[in-house]
Amino acid sequence: MISNGNYHNNLRIWFDILTPKQIMFFKYFVEDLEESGHEIFCTGRDYREAIELAKIKKVRIKIVGKHGGKDRYEKLVASSERIRKLADIINSFDPDLTVSFSSPEASRVSFGLGVKHYIFNDSPHALAVAKLSVPICDRLFCPWIIPYKAWLYLGINREKITRYRAIDPVVWLKREMEKNKECEGWSNTRSKKNKKNQFTILIRPEEAKASYITDNKNLKNSVALIDSIVKNFSLYSKVLILGRYQDQIEFFKQRYENKVQILEDVVDGTSLLREIDLFIGAGGTMSAEAALLGKPVISIAPISFYVENFLIRCGFVKKIRNEKELTRYTHNIFSKIKNEKKDFKNNDKLKKYKISGFQKRLFEKSLKFIDSMEDPIVQFKKFI
């Protein structure tokens, strides 16, 4: 029922959606396909951030199995148990096509049941899931900035790789911007700040339980970098930390006590990013999202990856792994914002959106970048 270049109606499509990024990314795929008359069935797993964000974004997901945590054995057991449960559920649904973000469980179930599996992946550095999904998928979709060689050594044929000229947050940011009539000020409209808190900094720690992070030796350095921000800026800035896991949240609560605000509830990241002056991220997705919203972004990620390197080359992200440099660069960002407040006072548009000339230039640059990107959903629909 699925062939290249032909678009068929009334397909049964299974989406396996595992992380917050995947919820944001696949939400619009699901809505578009349902509007076209396809029957969509979405599964996920018991993973705090993903479950709560699915509720916020109104994505209907059946929870099957759980996240395996940090331990290799627990990951193996959780994945094996999830495959067994999915086998019965998906066999009953009888899909024509599976779509996932390189889900190992979706790969095994689809392969076993003889269902075509299309995967998206912008993270070849996540080698464990890539090895378990890329070799047996029927088509791989990825951003054009990832070279073919990043995938070919895993055993996939080049003819099965489709690259789109976009980075993944474009999927949801472009659509959410289109919903807002006053697009020009969309990312910068913010609530009034406490006079004590001149600036707002959002910190997103690393995905410490991901397989590509757990063995990394630079995690202690990431904490030291966050320490330096808290030490040097918490007295006159509002410092927010958005943790990924409950134990990570508890760690930062004990470490910083009342010096920072630890966000314990899962939030809509896009809305939160609109309210900040600086984003400091140890991961990938929110750093890219913040950059595309015109925010100054500092990466303290303990690894390097293609999307981040691209954003660094384009001037959207600054990579820093040194405490003194991090402090100096943050001071520099805030000086630029503060020194251009005169533009804010003399310009009605800047005054309306409560931003400086520096912030406005960043946002205009990000808008041009987003407008230059193509839609991955359009590329995907060419193959169903």
**pLDDT tens digit at each of 384 positions of the chain:** 454 444 456 999 999 999 999 999 999 999 999 999 999 999 999 998 999 999 999 999 999 999 988 889 999 999 999 999 999 999 999 999 999 999 999 999 999 999 999 999 999 999 999 999 999 999 999 999 999 999 999 999 999 999 999 999 999 999 888 776 554 555 554 545 555 568 999 999 987 555 555 555 555 688 999 999 999 999 989 999 998 888 889 999 999 988 999 998 888 889 899 999 999 998 889 999 999 999 999 999 988 899 999 999 999 999 999 999 999 999 999 999 887 655 555 555 545 556 678 888 999 999 999 999 999 999 999 998
Cα 153 → chain centroid: 26
By C-alpha distance, which of 66, 140, 80, 148 is closest to 112?
80
pLDDT of 358: 86
Residue 199: φ, ψ to 5°? -135, 160
pLDDT of 210: 55
Rg of the chain (C-alpha set): 21
User: Is residue 319 helix, strand or coil?
Assistant: strand
Residue 2 to residue 360: CA distance in whole angstroms:
46
pLDDT of 30: 97
Residue 367 to residue 342: CA distance in whole angstroms:
24
Q: Which two tokens stand for residue 176?
A: 């959410």
**CATH numbers and ranges of domains, the chain:** 12-164 (3.40.50.2000), 179-371 (3.40.50.2000)
* One-character DSSP codes across 238-305: EEEEE-SSHHHHHHHHHHHTTSSEEE-S---HHHHHTT-SEEEESSSHHHHHHHHTT--EEE--SS--
User: Is residue 312 helix, strand or coil?
Assistant: helix
pLDDT of 68: 87
pLDDT of 318: 96
Q: Which two tokens stand for residue 170?
A: 């474009």
Q: Which residue has the tokens 């995947």?
A: 22
According to DSSP, the β-strands at 97-100 and 62-66 are unpaired
Cα 256 → chain centroid: 26
pLDDT of 135: 97
pLDDT of 1: 44
pLDDT of 69: 84
Q: Which helix (H) or strand (E) holds 353?
A: helix 348-353
Q: Which helix (H) or strand (E) holds 143?
A: strand 139-143
Q: In what order do the strands lie in the sheet with 116-120?
A: 62-66, 39-46, 12-16, 97-100, 116-120, 139-143, 161-164
Residue 135 to residue 156: CA distance in whole angstroms:
5
Structural contact between residues 307 and 299, judged by C-beta atoms closer than 8 angstroms? no
By C-alpha distance, which of 116, 149, 156 is closest to 132?
156
pLDDT of 353: 53
Structural contact between residues 137 and 156, judged by C-beta atoms closer than 8 angstroms? yes
User: Is residue 142 helix, strand or coil?
Assistant: strand
| Exposed e or buried b per residue across 336-347, where buried means at least 16 C-beta atoms within 10 angstroms of its C-beta | bbeebeebbeee
Q: Which two tokens stand for residue 201?
A: 């900094």
